[in-house]
Amino acid sequence: MQLLENYVGGRWMPGEGKETTLVNAVHGNPVAYSRSGGVDFNAILEYGRKTGGPALRKMTFHERGRMIKALALFLHDRKDKYYPISYQTGATKADSWVDIEGGIGNLFANASLRRRFPDLPYHVEGEAIASSKNGKFIGHHIMVPKQGIAIHINAFNFPIWGMLEKIAVNLLAGVPALVKPATVSSYVTEAIFRDIIASGILPVGAVQLLVGSAHGILDHVQSQDVVTFTGSASTGQQLKAHPRIISEAVPFNLEADSLNCSILGEDAKPGTEEFDLFIKEVRKEMTLKCGQRCTGIRRAIVPAHLLEDVQIALSKALAQTTIGDPQVEGVRMGALAGKTQVAEVRSQVEKLLKETNMVYGNLNEVTLIGANAEQGAFLSPMLLVNEHPLSSTLVHEVEAFGPVCTLMPYANLDEAIEIAKMGKGSLCSSIVTYDNEIAKQFVVGAASHHGRILVLNRECAKENTGHGSPLPLLTHGGPGRAGGGEEMGGMRGVLHYLQRCAIQGSPTTLTEITSIYQYGGQYKDPGVHPFRKYFEELTVGDTVITHKRTITESDIVAFANISWDHFYAHTDVTSLEGTTFTQRVAHGYFVLSMAAGLFVDPGKGPVLLNYGLEECRFTKPVYAGMTLGVRLTVKEKLPVDPKEEDVIHKGIVKFLVDVFDETGETVAIATILTMVQKRVSS
């Protein structure tokens, strides 16, 4: 039998003292054991802060993103070895796919986020803030990695996904992590963690693993650390109230199990595609992972006159669910994580039965394939009915974390919203309807109490990811009972591990700090036209000031004819009364096109193509007789990852195009993106 080990301080080591035996959830036989003592929590945290942290902070966002992508590829090549281990937790292949490949997919998704950050070790947030009359004193915000360690306390139900979805975010931010999986399924986490370390892809100290008890670790947290917890609301609240968390003001991200709900729209009658979708989705959420998902549907809220129809249809669907050994052909639902979890679910169902009736399933009996109920941790799916959800409120307070769901009726949509909110905050909700007005009313009315809402109908049925599936680039978390935290969420998730700092100074100084040209800053003489420079040779602030051109009436008329843009302000001077224009005005896009004619160096060079346009503003009317010039400045440089088939390696350069008139005043300003060749192909 395997002895699980911690990976701390840069080496694998077993714990000491009391042993905990971990068993196969299907057959009850031992699979591993762990020891809960013999570790110095303070030393572990200090190792992450002083060894892993500095190494990660030296890397840029793009380097960290490529590192995470390399790790995802490494683990993806080995994914098949994790399935047999996962089956021992009672998970079916479909359950395991979500955990294993969903977790690795999370790494890929977060790795791609690097393109939304600068190629710097820190992030420049938003736009500059003008702070003086003449523009020589401005403010901005940068966000730098916290100089602590992320402590992840994870739940038992997703031993791989739970770890990978968290470390992907803190690693991209440049913060090391200590992972504490739930003991009952920690052997799965340890297996993939061994491959993470063996890969050599992450810097030393970037991640550590603690499979034994973590009791007392919060006594050693510091203000620069971040703690995340996934699990029961009661445990999370206790940890969040730890005196050290409070005294050090440690960010604590709590993602707790919640009483999520799904609503059947009044339009979704039997025979409609939406009715069938609702039945399918509720059945799936009850049986996938045996209902052991923090996002599972606990409350199914349906129109009162359809309650019996839903009960019959859902019971029929549940009757088709085969239960047993996940490795036996045809089994659709496996075991719960362990006997302790079975006892906990039964206890919670008994509480619910005080105010509900069980209309499908059995609390003590279950028919199995290839398994024995005495040995394994099995339960029947159970469907309950609460006919008075506004007055019988246990269903909004008690959660059975297993294959259990309660049906309840509503009289109208306002009542459905009220019932949904009685769960006091949840990770997710869904509504199945083909009526967009119903969807809008529900979303606007219920969004305050939910972290995510899925609107499901026939149009998105084939491509939707499901009620219970949080996505890497969308927020995962919820208010109230759900903990009030947010995990993942694209850039939002990364920002949890960064410290925002306002910076003030001259545009020139802030240009140097941010590596982004700040309007009003000093220009740099590029020596030659920037279009003659390779990507590596360009410097932020390089500026060329062009020769000038006087606009004529003929220019405006000609552009109208070429573009087919005959808007009255450009073509009909008799219609200008009551407008802001005093005479025929030049097209904004003509001004921009004219600017390109002034600043483009036409000869073949490192500039390969125009890649796009953003942040374009026309700030002053341009009339015939005005003389315009352009200040073209290198604003920002963005690397592009080379592909194997690329013959030419390149990067993206943002140029600030500042079009000014004879008085020196800006009439148009825009940022253009160009693809620029690199001198070296590495």
Residue 682, pLDDT above cutoff 60: no
| pLDDT one-digit tens code per residue, 339-358 | 999 999 999 999 999 999 99
What are the residue ranges of CATH 3.40.605.10 in the chain?
2-121+147-255
Given pLDDT bands bounded at 50, 70 and 90, which one contains residue 302? very high
pLDDT the model gives residue 680: 76
Closest by CA position to 200, among listed 102, 7, 67: 67
pLDDT the model gives residue 659: 98
pLDDT the model gives residue 36: 82
Direct distance between the N- and C-terminal alpha carbons of the chain, in angstroms, rounded to an integer? 48
Given pLDDT bands bounded at 50, 70 and 90, which one contains residue 375? very high
Phi, psi for 666 (deg, rounded to 5):
-70, 130
pLDDT the model gives residue 679: 87
pLDDT the model gives residue 263: 98
Q: For residues 499 and 520, give the distance between their C-alpha atoms in angstroms, rounded to a whole number.
A: 27
| pLDDT one-digit tens code per residue, 479-519 | 999 888 888 888 999 999 999 999 999 999 999 999 999 99
Higher local confidence (pLDDT), 487 or 5: 5
Percent of the chain with pLDDT over 90: 88
Q: For residues 518 and 676, give the distance between their C-alpha atoms in angstroms, rounded to a whole number.
A: 21
Residues with a known catalytic role: 255, 294
Give me 637's structure tokens: 């440089």
| pLDDT one-digit tens code per residue, 213-258 | 889 999 999 999 999 999 888 899 999 999 999 999 999 999 988 9
| pLDDT one-digit tens code per residue, 20-29 | 999 999 999 9
pLDDT the model gives residue 19: 87
What are the residue ranges of CATH 3.10.129.10 in the chain?
523-677
Q: For residues 296 and 293, give the distance between their C-alpha atoms in angstroms, rounded to a whole number.
A: 5
By the 8 A CB rule, do 481 and 258 touch? yes
Question: For domain 261-470, which CATH number applies: 3.50.50.60, 3.40.50.20, 3.40.309.10, 1.10.10.10?
Answer: 3.40.309.10
Q: For residues 480 and 256, give the distance between their C-alpha atoms in angstroms, rounded to a whole number.
A: 9
What are the residue ranges of CATH 3.40.309.10 in the chain?
261-470
pLDDT the model gives residue 644: 72
Q: What's the fold here for domain 2-121+147-255?
A: Aldehyde Dehydrogenase; Chain A, domain 1 (3.40.605)
Residue 645, pLDDT above cutoff 80: no
pLDDT the model gives residue 352: 97
| pLDDT one-digit tens code per residue, 553-587 | 999 999 999 999 999 999 999 899 999 999 999 99
The per-residue pLDDT of the chain, averaged, comes to 95
Q: For residues 313 and 228, give the distance between their C-alpha atoms in angstroms, rounded to a whole number.
A: 40
Given pLDDT bands bounded at 50, 70 and 90, which one contains residue 646? confident
Given pLDDT bands bounded at 50, 70 and 90, which one contains residue 89? very high
Q: For residues 401 and 349, give the distance between their C-alpha atoms in angstroms, rounded to a whole number.
A: 10
* Mean pLDDT of the region 7-28: 92
Looking at residue 368, what DSSP letter applies?
-
* CATH superfamily for domain 523-677: Hotdog Thioesterase (3.10.129.10)
Nearest-10 Cα torsion for 108, 110, 116, 119: -80
* Mean pLDDT of the region 400-415: 97
pLDDT the model gives residue 681: 59
Q: Count of H helices and E strands in the chain? A: 19, 28
